[in-house]
Structure formats: structure tokens, C-alpha cells
Amino acid sequence: MAQQVNVRDRSGTVAPAAKQRVLAAVKAEGGGDLTEHHLSVLASSGDVDLYRGNSTRLLIDGPATFAAMKSAIEQARGRVLLESYIIEDSHLGDQLSALLTRKVAQGVSVALMYDGVGSRGNAEFFDQLAESGVSVCKFNPVNPLERPGYWGINHRNHRKVLVVDDEVAFTGGINISRAYSVGSSSIGRSGGHDDESLQRGWRDTHIELRGPVVPAFARGFAAVWTSQGCPGVLGSAPPATRTAPGQRVVKLLESDPRDPSNRIYTALLQAIEAAQRSVHLTMAYFAPGGDMVAALADAARRGVEVSLVLPGRSDFALVLHAGRSYYEELLSAGVRIHEMDQAVMHAKTAVIDGVFSTVGSSNMDWRSWVANNEINVVVLGRDFGKELEAVFQRDLKHSRAVHIDAWRRRGLAARVMEQIGRLAERLL
């Protein structure tokens, strides 16, 4: 395992002695044998690059996330790199536009990439940004004449990434959308279950990272930008400022449907198959397919506590029903399923054995596995695992358990919708 793990910092790969100290420190957080076990599982798929010395901060729901992102952009000295599946011409979008325009006027280079399907209908908004000096790029436009040679109607960019000066990066499930104008707790207080509540107060998770992993985010952004033939320049990051080092060890996982295999899917599947104590998943769109369902069920049958927090309602009903078509098999194996009704669950996180934690943009569905560009981070160690576990337990308290006896008594209409969802699963 140690031979296949490469530990990096801002200067590059660290010496073997330093690598051993990093791995020992992660194990010393607690659950050392489990940490080493999951490191070995990660390494089994080939050489693994880990970035040491990072700080992490979990951001829950839209208001906290946007406040942190706007604060980082305000402090930008050299460049801002931003990509999102959805960027709406809304109040939040207007605030972002004004901020980016102001930073360009201050001499900061700003590059923005948005998805041609996820952000359709907002042409005037993006044109105004381009006129202000922002380098703007539409990922795989629906109209192939917009950028000949870069058209792929089924290939979408689902990533959510912000990189500022190669010093701070953000990723997770949160789009720049009115759905995140308030926190998810407001839905619970108001008791809202109508159509309007689908448009605001979504429950989601983002992560802020500082440290050596951040330039890797920037390189990933540049790779997608270049592969799309995007116009404009990305600028350069200013010299790094001296900041207090963090303690987190992080793995960056990026996926592209043109890759030979999906790194995010492989890492998560292997971690579940290797789980010894617990698998706690929070997933927005859950239509996992046979292999992933088998891994979850097998883990439960061998005594691992497998618990899922899934949406009780969704903006995409067919995916919701496709996921429910697997409930019988999962519940029969001992998997615990909970659905959140008070807000739209949109987070994509997992904590496995308390030491393997992931936050990102990738759902557990066919589109994320084979059709989208996605990005996740894996944070190793007990300390961060406890933080994400606390969020999971809070979500659990605000969700209702799905019991197998009641589930088997569901009506015919629900069963029909599940089968329709299952049939459409690979088309969604």
C-alpha cells in the first residue's frame, strides 16, 4: 500500500520518510487499522495521489455556502475560476455577476464555465458577464453551430467548482440557483410541502478546502476548459501566501465519461465492498444499478450498519421512483432507508467506517456514472469523519424510516411508477 500511495504538498511528492509520518498521523486520529484498510483499498486500483496539509470546512445549505464563496472572491488577487451545472439569472446570480464584474475591474482574471443544458435560457445574463470582461464558456452547447466540434448533447458538466488564487477551493452539490436562497431548516419551520418549497430551502452540502490540493482543482478546471476549446484566458494565480497548514489528507476524484472507467464510482464501490463497520450515505438522486445495490446489500448481510438518507420528494420524480424500485431488495438485506420530506435532499456525501468520507457533485445514478463530468473529494481520517457523521445524524433525525412491512403494503400506483422509473433509469 505505501508503495502505491504518493503524498504531495505544494512542492510536489514528499520524501518517503515524510510520507510515512503523514500516514501515521492519519492513523493516529483513531481507527488506525480501518484507515490503513481503506488506504489499501484505494491503492489497489493503482497509484494514488494524496495531498497532505489541507484544512477543510463543511458548508451546509445555500446561505452559508454562498457567504463563504463570496468572501473568497472578494479577497481574490489574481484569478477566479468558476464552473457550475446551473447558474440562474436570479437574485443570487445577480449578486455573483456584480461581484465578478467588480473583480475584473480591479484587474482580477475571471473565468466562468456553465453547462449548456443546466443553464439554458440565460443567454443575456452570460452575455453581460462576457461584456464586462469575464471569460465565459458554455459546456457542450445544445446548438452545435455555437462552437462547432464541441457538441455532445448527452455529455454534461455537472461539476460545481470555485477556485480562488489557487489558495481556496469549493465543491459539492450546490448550484447557483434560487433553490438555495434560504436554508433547509426554514422549510421545516413553515411546514412547506407545496411546489414553492421545491424552489427554495434545499438541503445540500459543500466543502471548502485550503492547502496543497487547491492547485489540483485549478488544473482540473483548466483541463476541462481546454478540452472544450473555450475562448479567453485563465490568467495566473499570484504567489501563494503563507498560511497555517491544516491536518487533512485529501484525495481528489474527477470523472469524465470519455475515461476508461469512472474513478468516483470505482472508489465508492470498493469502499462499500470493503466496509467493516458502517456505510452512511446521503444521496440526492439514487438509482444505483445492480452492482452498487449488491454491494450495499452484501455489506448489510455481513453485519455492517448500512444506512441511507434519501429524498422523500424530488424535482425529478422518475429518478425518485427508479431508486424506490430497489428498496425491497435493500430492506430485505437489512439496509436502513430513511426519506427526508421537510426539504429537497440534494447532498451527495458518504462516510464509510468513520474514516473514508466523500463530498462532491456525483449522484448515485446512471447519468453521474456514464454521462457527466463530476468531481468529488475524499477526506481520510477519523476527525473529518466525525464532522460529516454529525451532519448525517442530524439529517437522520429529520427523516422518516422506511419499514419493510409498510413498504410491502404500498399501492399499485407506486409500484407501477417504480417499474417505469427502473425502465427509464439509463435514459434519465
- DSSP codes joined into one string, 389-427: HHHHHHHHHTSEEE-HHHHHT--HHHHHHHHHHHHHGGG
In this structure, which amino acid lies at residue 400?
R
What's the whole-number mean pLDDT along residues 395-421?
A: 95
What's the whole-number mean pLDDT along residues 296-313?
A: 97
| Domains of the chain by start residue, with CATH | 5-52+250-427 (3.30.870.10), 57-227 (3.30.870.10)
Furthest-apart CA pair in the chain: how many Å?
63
For 226, which DSSP code?
Answer: H
What's the whole-number mean pLDDT along residues 105-129?
A: 96
pLDDT at 54 over 90: yes
Give the helix ranges, DSSP H, for 201-326: 214-227, 263-274, 290-301, 317-324
SS3 state at 413: helix
CA distance readout (Å), 278 to 6, 128, 290, 355, 365: 27, 49, 20, 10, 21
SS3 state at 255: strand
Torsion of CA 318, 88, 90, 358, to 10 degrees: 70
Q: Which residue has the higher pLDDT, 216 or 181?
A: 216
Residue 1 pLDDT: 63
SS3 state at 338: strand
Residue 9 C-alpha cell reads as 504538498
Angle of helix 32-43 versus helix 263-274 axis, rounded to 10: 140
CA pair distance 238, 287, nearest whole angstrom:
43
CA pair distance 361, 284, nearest whole angstrom:
10
Q: How confident is the model at residue 48 (pLDDT cuts 50, 70, 90)?
A: confident
Query: Closest Cα partner for 206 from 174, 251, 175, 163?
Result: 174
What is the average pLDDT score of the chain? 92
For 58, which DSSP code?
Answer: E
pLDDT at 10 over 80: yes
pLDDT at 37 over 80: yes
pLDDT at 267 over 70: yes
| Tens-digit pLDDT profile for residues 360-403 | 999 999 999 999 999 999 999 999 999 999 999 999 999 999 99
What's the whole-number mean pLDDT along residues 147-159?
A: 94
Residue 423 pLDDT: 86
Buried b (16+ CB within 10 A) or exposed e, 67-79: ebbeebbeebebb
CA pair distance 156, 367, nearest whole angstrom:
9
Cα-to-chain-centroid distance, residue 374: 7
What's the whole-number mean pLDDT along residues 178-192?
A: 67
Let me know if 256 is exposed, middle or buried by CB neighbors in 10 A (0-12, 13-18, 19+).
middle
CA distance readout (Å), 148 to 69, 112, 142, 152: 33, 20, 11, 11
Residue 89 pLDDT: 87
| Tens-digit pLDDT profile for residues 322-347 | 999 999 999 999 999 999 998 999 99
pLDDT at 199 over 80: no
The fraction of the chain above a pLDDT of 90, given in percent, is 82
pLDDT at 192 over 50: no
pLDDT at 242 over 80: no
pTM here is 0.94
CA pair distance 316, 312, nearest whole angstrom:
11
CA pair distance 158, 375, nearest whole angstrom:
8
DSSP β-bridge partners for residue 157 = 373
CA distance readout (Å), 186 to 194, 197, 298, 319, 328: 14, 10, 38, 25, 32
Residues 6+ apart with CB under 8 A from 325: 418, 419, 421, 422
What's the whole-number mean pLDDT along residues 127-142?
A: 96
Query: Closest Cα partner for 364 from 354, 355, 356, 374?
Result: 374
pLDDT at 167 over 70: yes
Let me know if 163 is exposed, middle or buried by CB neighbors in 10 A (0-12, 13-18, 19+).
buried
Q: How confident is the model at residue 188 (pLDDT cuts 50, 70, 90)?
A: very low
